[in-house]
Structure 1
Amino acid sequence: MNKAEDVATVVAVTIPIFGQLACTLFDSGATHSFVSFRFARKISSMPVKLELEFYVATLSGEVLNCKEVLKGCAMTIANRELGADLVIMYMYDFDVILVMD
């Protein structure tokens, strides 16, 4: 008997977040939503320390420490205003990674 495997779905788009265009990856396999350190410095939201720091393992094998989050980041997707808490992480390929349910 064959067992179906869970496959993560990813979609890359550019969307406005806090009025700045962000190269964004929607990832059904992500556990949190993330923002790059570089992009976080461009927007007008103050980071908040996470209650518990955590580590993220990347596909390249790096393990990154996450300590801060931007709360309630406003974004427009398909003409709908949404908000997300974005954990700040050192990444370079995307400005934002959003959990996709």
Structure 2
Amino acid sequence: PGHIAKDCKSENKPGRQQRQGNARVFAVGQRQRNTGVEGTITLFHNLVRVLFDTGASHSFISRSVVNALGLTPKLLGVPLTVESPLGNSVKLILVCESCPLLIGNKEFLADLIILDNNSYDMILGVDWLWCNHAVIDCHGMLMSFHTPGQAVVRHRCIKTDATMKFGFLALVERVERVLALEDVPKVSLYQDVFQDIVGLPPRRVVEFTIELIPGTSPISKAPYRMAPTELKELKIQIDGLVAQGFIR
């Protein structure tokens, strides 16, 4: 009594509530705002879907990713209360510190706060973007990092779209099974007859050719349904009709 609260020299009582920090994040749940661009980066040698969000004050990681990668979180020095555009708020107390992120062949570090019910694997907010001198080109869908004294790192992104629910990074390859001798019932009984082909056949001493007399007509002729004699008679009749003017 008799002095201002800020000048009180008495120690804090044990039961006094710890001060909390405030944060905001827009990309929570299915409803999203167009406050950033998204892309795919590498976290601990695993591909993750990330949102570079200028509307988020902090950086977050989904609890499902933490469990899948077996990360060991730590307690936050000050509990963080996150507010979403839906009006909901949640208290966060765990963080994964110094997580290595590989973007454009360059490694970055990030302290990621664990967040439940996240639409993305990771959200990199203003705190991380500011520290790494990040510039977002919303028209060109390009992220660039202008770290002083280092080469500019660029990363291609895509526009956030609530209608795109799933994405896959895969290579489709048609696999065809090659038949072996054992797979053919009849041939498998006589495997000693069919020798393995190790390469092209050797060149022969004498090349096989058929020599023809000069002026010889073609050996093969186009097959017809009529006999040659009948075809000859038909040609005579057609020529007669043409000569008489019945056929033009």
**How high is the TM-score relative to the length of structure 2?**
0.36
Determine the C-alpha separation between the residues in 1 that align with 2:58 and 2:124.
Answer: 7
Larger strand share, 1 or 2: 1
> Equivalent residue for 1:71?
97
Deviations 1:7-48 (A, max 9, x none): x84010111111121110001222111001111112243100
Write out aligned runs for 1:9-20 (5 A).
9-20=35-46
Determine the C-alpha separation between the residues in 2 that align with 1:9 and 1:17.
Answer: 23
Determine the C-alpha separation between the residues in 1 that align with 2:118 and 2:78.
Answer: 24
Larger helix share, 1 or 2: 2
Determine the C-alpha separation between the residues in 2 that align with 1:44 and 1:79.
Answer: 24
> Equivalent residue for 2:117?
91
Determine the C-alpha separation between the residues in 2 that align with 1:32 and 1:47.
Answer: 16
Higher Cα Rg, which structure: 2
Deviations 1:42-73 (A, max 9, x none): 22431000111111011232212111000110
Unpaired runs of 5+ in structure 1? 1-7
Number of equivalenced pairs: 94
Determine the C-alpha separation between the residues in 1 that align with 2:121 and 2:90.
Answer: 16
> Equivalent residue for 1:4?
none
Write out aligned runs for 1:1-80 (5 A).
9-80=35-106
Q: CA deviation at 1:80?
A: 0.6
- Residue identity over aligned pairs, in percent, reads 33
CA RMSD, 1 decimal: 1.5
Determine the C-alpha separation between the residues in 1 that align with 2:120 and 2:80.
Answer: 20
Unpaired runs of 5+ in structure 2? 1-33, 131-248
Are 1:14 and 1:23, in contact at CA under 8 Å, matched by a contact in 2? yes
SS of the equivalent of 1:91 reads: coil
Are 1:65 and 1:89, in contact at CA under 8 Å, matched by a contact in 2? no
